[in-house]
């Protein structure tokens, strides 16, 4: 048993359960983390452009994430709506493309791709169509499920290793 993987998996599992119990604060943490990440990336890009003497060419590319980060941090509820829409659109489009690809596949396991694409498309549409009712908790639930799945896998892998 690899204790570090089990410990990491346990922490992830516990945090996932907490996020599942409190989806709105978890959604808010996703937005704030994303905002800070964009802010830092934008600031580093602007710093690099300034040091390289390319403020007009490369600096403008750093301005977008910098402003986006500031907006997400300053208006997290609006950011929650925006990020939820982005997640819904990405899932719907990804599902649509996988569905089309699965239908065109000639492999005997194409049904897996079709089912996967159909479920992603359905999830994306549910998120987008139920936006008013679910916007405050969608990101928190996604974070919770991801942490729970990662935690479970890490625990199993850690226990299987000798």
pLDDT of residue 124: 92
Q: CB of 65 within 8 A of CB of 42?
A: yes
Residue 10 DSSP label: H
At residue 162, the pLDDT reads 66
- pLDDT tens-place string over residues 6-49: 999 999 999 999 999 999 999 999 999 999 999 999 999 999 98
Q: At 105, is the pLDDT very low, low, confident or very high (cuts 50, 70, 90)?
A: confident
Query: Contact 149/7 with Cβ under 8 angstroms?
Result: no
Find the domain containing 50 and state its range: 3-160
Task: Give every CB contact of residue 79 below 8 A, 6+ residues apart in sequence.
Answer: 31, 34, 35, 71, 72, 73
End-to-end CA distance of the chain: 5
- Please tell me the total count of domains within the chain: 1
Report pLDDT digits (tens) over 67-77.
Answer: 999 999 999 99
Residue 129's pLDDT is what? 92
Q: What is the pTM of this model?
A: 0.80
């Amino acid at each position: 048993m690899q204790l570090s993987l089990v410990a990491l998996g346990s922490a992830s599992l516990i945090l996932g359960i907490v996020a599942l119990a409190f989806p709105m604060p978890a959604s808010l943490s996703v937005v704030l983390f994303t905002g800070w990440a964009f802010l830092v990336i934008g600031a580093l890009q602007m710093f690099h452009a300034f040091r390289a003497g390319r403020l007009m060419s490369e600096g403008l590319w750093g301005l977008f994430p910098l402003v986006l980060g500031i907006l997400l941090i300053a208006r997290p509820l609006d950011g929650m709506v925006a990020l939820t829409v982005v997640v819904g659109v990405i899932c719907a489009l990804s599902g649509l493309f996988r569905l089309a690809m699965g239908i065109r596949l000639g492999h005997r396991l194409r049904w897996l791709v079709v089912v996967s694409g159909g479920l992603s498309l359905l999830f994306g549409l549910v998120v987008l169509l139920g936006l008013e009712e679910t916007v405050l908790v969608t990101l928190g639930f996604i974070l919770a499920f991801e942490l729970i799945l990662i935690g479970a896998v890490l625990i199993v892998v850690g226990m299987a290793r000798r």
